[in-house]
Amino acid sequence: MDLAETEEEREFRAGLRAWLAKTLPELPPRPSPDDWPGRRAYDLGWQRRLYDAGYAGLHWPAAAGGRGAGPARHLAFLEEAERAGAPYVGANFVGLLHAGPTIAAEGTPAQRARWLPPVLRGEEVWCQGFSEPGAGSDLASLRTRAVRDGDAYVVTGSKVWTSHAEIADWCELLVRTGPDAPRHRGLTWLAMPMDAPGVTVRPLRTLAGSAEFAEVFLDGVRVPVAYRVGAEDDGWRVTMTTLSFERGTAFAGEVVACRRTLGALARAARANGRWDDTVLRRRLGRLAAEFAALWRLTQWNVSAAERTGGVPGAGGSVFKLAYSQARQELYDAAAEVLGADALALEEEWVRERLSSLSYTIAAGTSQIQHTIVAERILGLPKGR
């Protein structure tokens, strides 16, 4: 990939920068971190503004309702949005960054027409129903059952750590349809409406005080067969597509945000005298180099995905490993800069530090990513 921008791409960046400068001051105040209904309304409102201005789904294929723009515009959008302090995807994370791309890659034309436009227009929120009690990152061990009954599946079981379940309209749900098949087979990917009878959501409060996760209990929930993405019992392959997006590109915008936070940390350290600590200065310098390298890796992953049909490859696991660790180290450094204020929950950096503890678990633990890198990139023998 040639990283030098063309004249057309420079014009795109300038137009986007001007639009952001005009639009951001018009936004209403952001709701509190724990006001999820308010955050849903705020995040969907921002997504609608992006859609109306032609900036929604920039890198999605045109056949899926996107703009079909190349990786250069996608990356330019991430840089400019973060530089301007634009809202993050927030409640739209699952729909925009992995359920939507999965349906674009694996869904039928009718499924793309039904589910993708509302995501891009900021009308519907998705949650992720993969993890289960006793089967966190080991998805092949999941036990939630779906039994075919005419034109529907009857789903029974439970999920945990379900992102945004409390405010979601749809759930990307992984279920077992072939109980006698080997554990990596007999799985099916379903789109489940969250208002279906038999769905119960119980929010989980995290260490940082947020309730963005939930337990979801499924008691005889009927999901139409037409809502199945991919073939029955082929859910493992479809899920690998979902996880490729989640690990390969979904965190790309957060790398830009971390670089901005790093700059703010340096300014805060100069202001409160912590900058005189040479150990801290070296730590911030090393983190600056790591996030610069992560952004280059992001550019490589996005470019590689474009060349191979839009689905990121195993390189996403390299990114996920390094990013998870760097993010935790970033907010550990923030605690050093804050000093005694590092115990104050009202400080944004303190909440982010507590949240960062989950990053080496979320989207597949670091142990899972090590295994993927060993087997799929280094070609080492598979474990038994």
Distance CA 301, CA 223 (A): 35
Distance CA 286, CA 331 (A): 14
Distances (CA, A) of 258 to 251, 252, 255: 11, 10, 5
Distance CA 82, CA 233 (A): 40
Please provide the DSSP assignment of 245-307 as one string: HHHHTTTHHHHHHHHHHHHHHHHHHHHHTGGG-HHHHHHHHHHHHHHHHHHHHHHHHHHHHHH
Cα dihedral 368/374/376/382 (nearest 10) = -80
Structure tokens at 176: 């077992």
Beta bridge partners of 84: none
Is 12 in contact with 76 (CB distance < 8 Å)?
Answer: yes
Please provide the DSSP assignment of 39-104 as one string: HHHHHHHHHHHHHHHT-TTTTS-GGGTS----HHHHHHHHHHHHHHTPPP-GGGHHIIIIIHHHHH
Distance CA 196, CA 182 (A): 30
Whether 336 sits among the annotated catalytic residues: the reply is: no
Of 106, 132, 246, 290, the active-site residue reads 246
Structure tokens at 65: 């309702």
- The amino acid at residue 285 is G
Structure tokens at 193: 């409406």
Positive or negative, the Cα torsion across 183, 184, 186, 187? positive
Is 291 in contact with 263 (CB distance < 8 Å)?
Answer: no
Q: Which residues contact 205 (CB under 8 A, 6 or more apart)?
A: 211
Distances (CA, A) of 178 to 134, 142, 255, 318: 19, 12, 39, 32
Residues with active-site annotation: 246
